[in-house]
Amino acid sequence: MTARRLLFGLTWGLLLSGSAHCTQAGQIAASHAWIRLLPGDLPAGGYVALRNSGADGVVLIGAHSKTYASVMLHQSIRDAAGMDRMVMVRHLAIPAHGQVALSPAGYHLMLEQASSAPKVDGTVQITLDFADGSHLPVAFLVRPANATDAN
């Protein structure tokens, strides 16, 4: 092995070993992850609490899932005319040592085009995508249409 190749290998090894703690996904702990299943072809909502234990801000840019062909990051808002509607969210910042909740009245994942019908009390795997290209797989508990965020 040449010296250059050895150096390359060492550098690469250091990069890999450091990455687990340096990525945005590595700073995030997800809890209370659940999906509200709605009847028929109605979109399901995905909710989760995200805590950032790191000293740097983290930015959630979306999510993807094998179970749902379409996963969108949305925010429910009440506009100036008093109408409730949803807007697309491209960047959701989770501040250093802070947390952000995706919950029924606010930010949520909009889940559509299920490849197979999720079952109540089962879990669906959804991977959260962060701005630095890192990913966090999270198991979401499937709950019925009348479920609320409190239980």
Which residues sit at the interface with Cu ion, rule CB under 5 A?
Answer: 74, 86, 110
Q: Which is nearer to Cu ion, 36 or 74 (CB)?
A: 74
Tokens of 121: 């009390």
* Residue nearest to Cu ion according to CB distances in the complex: 74
Report the alpha-carbon distance of residue 81 to residue 9 in Å, rounded.
Answer: 60
Cβ of residue 131: shortest distance to Cu ion, in angstroms? Answer: 21
Nearer of residues 7 and 38 to Cu ion, judged by Cβ: 38
Residue number, 110 or 131, with CB nearest to Cu ion:
110
- Give Rg (Cα) of the chain: 18
Using the minimum distance from each CB to Cu ion, give the nearer residue, 86 or 93. 86
Residue-by-residue DSSP string for the chain:
--HHHHHHHHHHHHHHHHHHHHSTGGGEEEEEEEEE--STTPPEEEEEEEEE-SSS-EEEEEEE-SSEEEEEEEEEEE-TTS-EEEEE-S-EEE-TT-EEEE-TTSEEEEEEEESS---TTSEEEEEEEETTS-EEEEEEEEE-TT--TT-
Smallest distance from Cu ion to CB 111, Å: 9
Least CB distance to Cu ion at residue 53 (A): 28
What is the smallest separation between the CB atom of 133 and Cu ion, expressed in angstroms? 25
Query: Which lies closer to Cu ion via its Cβ, residue 110 or residue 114?
Result: 110
Least Å from the CB of residue 113 to Cu ion: 14
